[in-house]
Chains A and B, each alone.
Chain A
C-alpha cells in the first residue's frame, strides 16, 4: 500500500482565496482524521470521520473551514476565505479499529502558507 497520500505537498495562496487540501486514506481504513500542526498549538485535531461520516468536528476553528468525505477513498479540507493565521502544516491520517492502540498512519502533510 502507498500509505496515506496528501496533495498538494506545498500550497502558497493569497489571503481571501479558497484553498482545498486532499487526502487519500489507506484502503480498508474506516477512520480518517485531519490534524493541523503549528508552533503555538502543536498537533491539534480538526475533524474525524468514521465510515465517511463526520463524528467530531469540534476542533474546526470556524465556519471558514469545512471537510468532506464523499467516499471511502477521498477526503477534502477546504478553507474559504483563507487568512494568514491559517498558515500551518495540515496532516491527514487514517486507521482501522486498532487506531487508538497501535496508532494512526499519517500522510506527509500539506504545508500551507497564506500571504
Chain B
C-alpha cells in the first residue's frame, strides 16, 4: 500500500509565482522527509529534506513545511522559474524500519514564462 501519496499528478504555475507541491503520508514512524526533482531521461536528484523534529526547512528558493499532526508536508518554490519544470517526488524514511526511502508517485510541475 502506498505510504507516501502525492495526490496532484500535475501543476502549472506562471514564472515568478509560488509553486506549492503537496504530500501526505500514513506511517507515523517516518523520521525524515525528502524531496527529489527529476528531469526526463535522468535519475531523481535530491533537493531538500526535513527531520520530523522540525516544521520548516529552507534552502534558497525552496522551503519544505511539515505538519506532523496532519501527516502532511509541502514544498514551496518562490519564485518559480522555467528551469524548475520537472517531476517532483516526495519521499520518507523510517530509520527503525530499515534504510529504504518510500516514494510518492510524483507531481509534474510546469512553470510557464
Contacts and interface: CB of A to CB of B under 8 A. Distances in A.
A48 B99 contact: yes
Given A42-B106, A43-B89, A100 B43 contact: no
Contacts of A105: 46
Interface size class of B (residues with CB under 8 A): 20 to 34
Interface stretch (A12-20, A61-69, A72-80, A106-114): A106-114
A104 B93 contact: no
Contacts of A33: 100-101
Nearest to A4: B43
Contacts of B34: 103
Interface string A1-15: 000100000000000
Contacts of B51: 101
A91 B49 CA distance: 21
A101 B53 CA distance: 13
B44 A91 contact: yes
Contacts of A4: 43
A100 B93 contact: yes
Interface size class of A (residues with CB under 8 A): 20 to 34
A55 B36 contact: no
Contact of A104 (B32, B46, B102, B104): B46
A50 B100 CA distance: 11
A106 B101 contact: no
Contact of A109 (B32, B43, B49, B93): B43
17 contacts: A35-B103, A42-B2, A42-B103, A45-B102, A48-B98, A48-B99, A48-B100, A56-B98, A56-B99, A91-B44, A99-B99, A102-B46, A103-B34, A103-B36, A106-B45, A108-B42, A109-B41
Interface of A: 4, 31, 33, 35, 41-45, 48, 50, 55-56, 91, 93, 99-109
Interface of B: 2, 31-32, 34, 36, 41-46, 49, 51, 89, 93, 95, 98-106
4 tightest A-B CB contacts, nearest first: A103-B46, A106-B43, A42-B105, A100-B93
